[in-house]
Structures are given as structure tokens and as C-alpha cells.
Structure 1
Amino acid sequence: MPSPTGRRVAILVTCVALAAYTGLRAPSAWTATLQSISLQDGFHRRFVVGTVLHPFAEGSDYAYGLFAGTSFTILAALVAVLVVAAVRTRLPARRALVAGWLVLPTGGYLFHEVGYFEQVLFLALFGAWWLVVRGRWVAGALVMALSVCVHEIALLTVVPLFTLIVVHTLPIRRALAALLPAVVGGGCVLLGSPASGDAVPRLTVRLRDAGFPARADVLEIFGRTQAESLRMYEPLEVLSFLVPLAVLLAAGLALAFAGGPVVGAHRLLALAAATAPLVAAFAGWDTHRWAFLLLANTGVVTWWWLGRRDPDPSPGHARAVPRYQVLVAAALLCTHVPLAYFDGFAPRELTGPAIRAFVSDATSGDLLRTPTR
């Protein structure tokens, strides 16, 4: 008979395999292009990954395989963190949360968006969380400050989650000190120039000469103001898609919190952290990506909440079970919100023809062929 740990690992590996089958693809040309920008080339936003990779990129003549390998490594690390945390937790509800999140459409979407910087951001958050819990809050604060240089969307995703964690864990003055580097760093990134004047044309020429599948629209981001970006789409249309989902998630959390150990300011911070990605509607037009981030933030808040203890271990403590049921119901309702994939891809169905097509693509090499988009 397998041990309890062995059964847990088997269940979670099955969930990971299903998520990978549903959404796995080669990292897009968009993400690979974004990973090629660096401080060395004069870029001042989203530069951390590219700065680390810069010497390897030059040495390999900007081989797509370098950026694809980096993307898959980051994704594998993130999935490993989730699985290890779920296996080690003593709370079955937390384990069920991770398994459910992987089996639901969010799991497939996680594999589909391989290469996007939010995967680095959540790795940074989990690392900073680990440091804070172990009393190394200064190191955790520095990790979060670095996250805003990975991508400024950290201010709407992982920084609100980190705020909840430090306010709950540290004395208020120390919590504010832990948040200060990320806030100051984010302000500098947003207020400063995205890139030096010749950064975009120089990198464009270099990538073209290397035969790299560069996306010109990625580099155009660094030459546009936010006002110019807002004129390219309608934020209210994005909000009209996201608001019902945000309301559903907030209501589910509020009902789950009712009568439990999360009270006062912590409850408000938790709800704000879960729904903060809603503001991304004013930062870009990736509607379904923002919906995924709403679900990701809510998942992290739920994990945090499940680790809280009801202050009264009386028979009334059993009423915590219906609170879990509220979140299960909300998760099932969320499956009615589509998470449309990028670049014409769609989630793979768990059917015979779809499985045969997946095996054919994997064995022929088509699955991981260098993309044009």
C-alpha cells in the first residue's frame, strides 16, 4: 500500500499532468521578445529577466531556445513550489485548493501562459513570504522591490498579497518598512522613462540580424505613453468582463470569512488583495489574462485564510465546513468565465481525437516548434 505522502504526490502529479495536457505550448514570440530586453540595452522597465540572460543571449546569438528553456524552467519551479507546499501542508483543505486550482481551467491557463512574467512574480512572492515567516523580512522586502522591475504589474498582483502577509505577520511599523522598497521602486519604474532613446531601434536591429522571432509590438510598448496605450482599447469593456468575476470572488471570500478568524483590517486587506488585478483593466487589454490573475490572487488569499485558526475551538468550530463549501461553489461558478487562450490556441479537450492530436504534435516536434507569434 502506498504511504499517505505517496498518495498525495500521485494525486497532485496527476493534476499537474492534466493541467499541462490542457494548456502546454511553446513559449510565444511575445514572451521571448520581452525576455530579451535588458538594462545593458537601455531599458528601464521589465528588465530583470533579460538583464540576467543578457550575457547568455549574446553568447548564443539570441537563440530562441535560451528564452524558451528559461520560460519552462520558471514554470517548472512555480509548479514545484505549489506541489511541495500541497504535499507538506497538514491541512487537507489547502491540499484540495491546489489540486482543484490545477484541475480547473486555471491550471491549463498556467501552462498556456508559460513565459509571461507573472510566473516570475509569484515565485518572488512565495520566496518573500517564506523569508518573512522566518523573520528575514528585510530580505523579503528586497525581493518584492525587485519584483516591480520584473514587471510593474507586480503592484496590482503580488505586492497587495505581500501587504496582507506582512501586516498579518509583523508589527505595523515593521510591516510598513517592509512595503516601502516595493512602493518606492514601483514609483520610480512608473515615473521614469521606459527606455533610452536608441534602445528600441538598437535591439530591433540586433534581433533581426540574429534571426530571432521578435515581436515588433513588444518593443513598441517602450515607446508609448500610458495615455497612448489607453487610446488603443476601451478599458470599460475590459471592466465589464472582469467586474462580475471580481464581485463573485469577493462575495465568496466575504461569506467564507464571516464568523471566522479573519476580522477588521485583515479582512479588508484580504478582499483588496484578491481583487487588485481588476485595476489592470486600465493598464492593458489582456482581458482573459487579468481574469486569470484575479483567480490566482484569490487562490493565494484562500490559502492564507485556510491557515488561520478560529479563535474558539468550541463545537461551533464545525461551522467552518460550510465556509469551505461557499468557496467550492464560487470556484464552480468561476468555470463559467472563459479563459480564452492567446494566439489562436484553445484548451485541449480530454477526448480521443484531441489526445491523438497531442501525441502527434509532441512526437513530431510541432508542439514546441519556434512560434511566429
Structure 2
Amino acid sequence: MTTLLERAPVPVAGKTSRRSVTALFAIAVLLAGYTGFRLPGEWAATLQAVSLTDGFHRRFLVGTLLKPFGHDYAVFAVASFAVLGAVLAVLTLAFFRSRTESRRWLIVAWLLLPTGGYLFHEVGYLDQVLYLLLSGALWAVHRNRPVLASAVMALSVTVHEIALLTVLPIFGFALLRKVPFRRACALLTPAAVLGLGILALPPAAPGTIDGLRRSLSTADFAYRADALDLFGRTQSESWRLYSITGVLLYLLPIAAVVLGGFLYLHRPTLAAVVPAAAIGAPVLLAFGGWDDARWGFLLMTNFFVVVWLWLGHRELKLPQIGVLTALLLVLTHVPLPYFDDYTPRGLTLVTPVEDAR
């Protein structure tokens, strides 16, 4: 018989903490989805129709795989949500398989920041395919299959050439943690050479753009002609359409925050050069286009992925947690305006009187 002197079992602190952060992870996913969910836009659907067999030499992998299914909007929407679902599945696996609380909290923080909502808002954009391929390559590296990882990253540059400044630097950092320098360079070479070769080619063969326009004119969605115009302009012609300086001025403060935070965690040594370069590489996207908020999203995402990899089995110390928390609070003030006149959904049930005027 239980007596009054017997005490109830004291719950294990680790298990209690695990349940709390797991609940917060679920809340963060729901909140991010609520904030940024939308149907794939016409711009994303148009770019998913671009295929190698039609004569396009850039951003063709997804469109080439989808071409046998036709150009109906439903095809692009299903493919877009399938990729988004796969990205969320990767995040979930990374969360539950992380052996440290620091890694789990890092994933939760990325979802709670404006980046979480932006992930859902960006459904259909090829960036999500890039990071999905990166996760596959990192898994292959972890399983000691670096050649397979190298092949996966070579595919990434056929999805979008910005792979050279987003996922490829992260892959290089991951390789250097696993294999010697020369071996890492050899494994990076196929993707780098293929990517530079794609950039050296004209974006599309003559008549390709007009041919796709005719095909999409009978599609059940309003395709974006300006998305196809990207393949008909030279880089110098694109630079005349926007201010590189303006995009850089938007990105540089973000870069200063995330790089400063990482160098505090890592300490500025020679070993910090590669991960810092992997974090800061998306700043150079300012020379590739005017999607400043999108580049900011990728810059912050690279920071989180690099820190997640760097942590490994480490647990952050209390001073590091304080600095990282302050850093994340700064990032909450980074504006990430949405495309197509969409805005993040607020949590209030009514519109404030000031906004309604």
C-alpha cells in the first residue's frame, strides 16, 4: 500500500525538455504555415515549364521531369507542394534525429523567424528543390558515399544556377569536415564545372522562348511572360533593370549580423573561413537579380544550415545562447516582403484600426 511518505516519481528533466521543444516545433511549423501559405504563383509555374528538350540551357531539370505530364497548373501545383512537403519532412527528420538540444532549438528558431513563413510563401520556387538536393547530398556524405553526393550536387546546378552561391558552398563546408582538402576539391569540381559551363552557354536556343510561349498560351493559367524574358536577356541587360547597389544595401546588414554571430560562436580563425564564406555567399546574388527579399531569405537560411552542421554534437554554452538569442531577435526585424502583393498573415482576429484607415 502506498504511504504518505512515499514520493511520486520525479520526471526526468531531459524528457520534459524534449517534450516541450517538440511541442514548440509543432507549433512553429503550424505558425509558419499559417503566416505564409499560398498556392504556387504563375511565375513559379512558368519556370517549372522550362525544359531541356525545348531548348532551354538553364533551370531545366524540374521542367524536363514534368514535361510528360503536360502544362496544366495542377501538375505544377502538385509538384510544388510535393517538394515543400519533402522539405518539411527533412526538417522534421533533422529535428527528431538531432542528438543535441541546441540543434533542435535552432530549427525551431528558423521556423519562428520570418524565414519560416517565407518558406511556405515560396512554394513552387526552385530554391526549395536546391535545398532538398543539398539534404540528399549531406545524407550521402554522412553515409560515406561522397561520389553519390557529388553527383546529386551536380544535378543542383541544372535546377538553378544560383546553386553555385547557395547550396554548393555549404556542401563544400560539409565535405571538408569529412574528407581531405584535395578529395573535397575533386568532389566539388563536377558541380562547379557544370555550373560554370551552363552560365557560359546562352540561356536558350533561338526560337525556344517563342515556342514555349505558344505552348503555354493554351495552358489553364496565366503564364508570366516576364519570367520567360529572363532567358532572352544578357546579364548586362538585366543589370540595367535594377539597382545592384540597392540590393546590396539590403543584404549587407543581414550579412553583418549573421557573420558576426557565427564568428562569435566559432571564433575568427583560419578554420572559420570556409563556413563564413558558405554563409555569406548569397550576398553575391545581388549581381544576379533583384529579388532582394528572396536573397535575404537564402542568406539567413545558409546561416542556419551552416551553424546546424557546425554544432554537430556540441551543446551551446550559456553565453553563446545569449548572443545567439540576441542575434535572432535582430533578425526578426529583417523585412521579407512577399511576392505578388501578398503579405504575411497576422495572428490577430481583426485588422487594427490604424491599418484599416
TM-score higher than 0.5: yes
- Matched to 1:130, the amino acid is W
Equivalence for 2:229:
220
The answer to whether residue 142 in structure 2 is matched with residue 133 in structure 1 is yes
TM superposition shift of 1:104: 1.3
After superposition, residues 216-255 of structure 1 pair within 5 angstroms as 216-255=225-264
Equivalence for 1:55:
68
Rounded Cα–Cα distance in structure 1 between residues aligned with 2:345 and 2:316? 39
Rounded Cα–Cα distance in structure 2 between residues aligned with 1:29 and 1:299? 29
- Matched to 1:338, the amino acid is P
Structure 1 residues 265 and 149, CA gap change in structure 2 (3 angstroms): farther
Check conservation: 2:40, 2:124, Cα contact below 8 A: yes
The answer to whether residue 336 in structure 2 is matched with residue 349 in structure 1 is no
- Matched to 1:145, the amino acid is A
- Matched to 1:143, the amino acid is V
Rounded Cα–Cα distance in structure 1 between residues aligned with 2:198 and 2:122? 24
Equivalence for 2:32:
19
Residue in structure 2 matching 1:266, options 242, 251, 271: 271
The answer to whether residue 345 in structure 2 is matched with residue 336 in structure 1 is no
Equivalence for 2:3:
none
Q: Paired residues, what number?
A: 337
- Matched to 1:67, the amino acid is F
Equivalence for 1:297:
302
After superposition, residues 139-288 of structure 1 pair within 5 angstroms as 139-258=148-267, 264-288=269-293
Structure 1 residues 334 and 9, CA gap change in structure 2 (3 angstroms): closer
TM superposition shift of 1:291: 0.7
Rounded Cα–Cα distance in structure 2 between residues aligned with 1:51 and 1:287? 28
- Matched to 1:108, the amino acid is G
Rounded Cα–Cα distance in structure 1 between residues aligned with 2:306 and 2:104? 14
Check conservation: 2:21, 2:105, Cα contact below 8 A: no
TM superposition shift of 1:142: 0.6
Greater shift, 74-83 or 300-309, is seen at: 300-309
1:139-168 residue CA offsets vs partner (Å, 9 max, x unmatched): 100110110110000011000101101111
1:61-85 residue CA offsets vs partner (Å, 9 max, x unmatched): x110110111111011101101111
Check conservation: 1:64, 1:213, Cα contact below 8 A: no
TM-score using structure 1 length: 0.87
Equivalence for 2:355:
none
Equivalence for 2:54:
41
The answer to whether residue 100 in structure 2 is matched with residue 82 in structure 1 is no
Ranges in structure 1 where 5+ consecutive residues have no aligned partner:
310-317, 355-373
Rounded Cα–Cα distance in structure 2 between residues aligned with 1:305 and 1:293? 18
TM superposition shift of 1:307: 1.1
Structure 1 SS opposite 2:350:
helix
1:192-240 residue CA offsets vs partner (Å, 9 max, x unmatched): 1111101111110011023432100011111101110001111011111
Structure 2 SS opposite 1:209:
coil
Check conservation: 1:8, 1:87, Cα contact below 8 A: no
Check conservation: 1:164, 1:266, Cα contact below 8 A: no
Structure 1 residues 214 and 264, CA gap change in structure 2 (3 angstroms): same
The answer to whether residue 66 in structure 2 is matched with residue 66 in structure 1 is no
Rounded Cα–Cα distance in structure 2 between residues aligned with 1:197 and 1:140? 34
- Matched to 1:181, the amino acid is P
RMSD: 1.7
Check conservation: 2:38, 2:121, Cα contact below 8 A: yes
Rounded Cα–Cα distance in structure 2 between residues aligned with 1:272 and 1:164? 9
Structure 1 SS opposite 2:297:
helix
Ranges in structure 2 where 5+ consecutive residues have no aligned partner:
1-10, 352-357
Rounded Cα–Cα distance in structure 1 between residues aligned with 2:286 and 2:153? 23
Check conservation: 2:102, 2:316, Cα contact below 8 A: no
From the CA coordinates, give the structure whose radius of gyration is larger: 2
Identity percentage of aligned residues: 49
Rounded Cα–Cα distance in structure 1 between residues aligned with 2:337 and 2:271? 33
Check conservation: 2:73, 2:219, Cα contact below 8 A: no
Structure 1 residues 7 and 80, CA gap change in structure 2 (3 angstroms): farther
